[in-house]
Structure 1
Amino acid sequence: MGATEPRTPTQSATADRETVISRIIDAPRELVFEAFTEVRHLSRWWGPEGFTTTTRAFEFRVGGEWDFVMHGPDGTDYQEWITWTAIAAPERIAMLHGEARDDPNAFESVLTFEPDGAATRIEMHTVFPTKEQRDEAVEKYHAIEAGRQTLNNLATYVTETVRKGAEG
């Protein structure tokens, strides 16, 4: 056998630059998708535990932008910017996420919303420009735990707020 091993079908060419976070949310896919795509919902749950979000501009369409500031629990403000690169409602959203429009370190994320019985499985698949940027995001900014907390906030918001409103 040669020095190179054949790549397993589950390993992608960008595996060393990726993070994947998923969560089952006890709500229909359309509600979960709506909570992720309407600013009136996003600003109420986006971000890790203890963070709040202030939106400056929001237009949910391919090529549209979300310009916002995340406020950390320690008072630090984090300038954020997202542009939507693909939308297939209610199953998929692709976006480019950075600090500003021309951020050379912006990363790509694809979110998928899959029915799971009466619930929804959301998966956030992120690819960073380099392995080093992925490692820094994970180690310095706790990207995986922050992503899990963000999806937990989404789950709590959808099940406690949006769903009750839809049932009421």
Structure 2
Amino acid sequence: MDNNLNQTFEIAITRVFDAPRELLFKVWTEPEHFAKWWGPKRFTLEVVKMDARSGGEFLGIQTSLDGKEVMWGKFAYQEVVEPDKVTYIRSFSDEQGNTVRAPFSLSWPLEIMNIITLEDDEGKTVLKLKGFPVNASAEEQENYKRMAPKLQQDLEGTFDQLANYLVSLN
């Protein structure tokens, strides 16, 4: 990995899904699938742009069910290898895709690296996610570390939605 990533702390989640690896890859990289499960439980996602390839970008808007909270986000895809891996830098953004501070904290890292690997396990898929701040100040890294349990809980909720969505496809 590049030295400027200054990785000091990461979250890691491993989850087994009862679906083939090729399907998991599709639901991570195709907008019509991704919009149906990604994000916090009380939000919907509208995909504005999704070019899930190495060097491509994602831009989307999450809106709370009551319509009071709106968050734009983007991914800068670093490495996309079908059906094994999706690596991207995730950031909050404005409508044009410019990186902005998180709405909940002025000291949240601007960029979070996410590395997703998919491994076949007899018809099921083992998904491993690693996430860590990149190009972050010491204060931003500490804030990420402090909020890691909540972030991990939120991601587990997102993965619950993914599991339910996969069942709906059968």
User: For the superposition of Structure 1 and Structure 2, which TM-score range results when normalised by the shorter chain?
Assistant: 0.7 to 0.9
2:132 is matched with: 127
How far did residue 38 of structure 1 move?
A: 0.2
* Aligned-partner Cα distance in 2 for 1:137–1:73: 24
**Paired amino acid for 1:90:** P
Moved over 4 A (4+): none
* Aligned-partner Cα distance in 1 for 2:147–2:56: 25
- Structure 2 matches for 1:101-112, cutoff 5 A? 101-103=98-100, 105-112=110-117
1:117 is matched with: 122
2:80 is matched with: 87
* Aligned-partner Cα distance in 2 for 1:155–1:71: 21
Q: Indicate the SS of the match to 1:121.
A: strand
Does the Cα contact within 8 Å between 1:48 and 1:153 map onto a contact in 2?
A: no
How far did residue 119 of structure 1 move?
A: 0.6
2:41 is matched with: 49
Q: Tell me the TM-score normalized by structure 1.
A: 0.79
Q: Indicate the SS of the match to 2:36.
A: helix
How far did residue 59 of structure 1 move?
A: 1.2
* Aligned-partner Cα distance in 1 for 2:62–2:14: 22
Q: What is the alpha-carbon root mean square deviation over aligned residues?
A: 1.9
How far did residue 136 of structure 1 move?
A: 4.9
Give CA-to-partner distance per residue, 1:83-128, whole Å, 9 cap, x none. Answer: 1100111011110000134456111010011112221011110011
* Aligned-partner Cα distance in 1 for 2:70–2:147: 17
Q: How many residues matched?
A: 147
2:28 is matched with: 36
Gaps of at least 5 residues in structure 2 are: 1-5, 101-108
Q: Taking every aligned residue pair, what percent have the same amino acid on both sides?
A: 24
How far did residue 32 of structure 1 move?
A: 0.8
1:144 is matched with: 152
How far did residue 50 of structure 1 move?
A: 2.0
How far did residue 137 of structure 1 move?
A: 3.9
Q: Tell me the TM-score normalized by structure 2.
A: 0.78
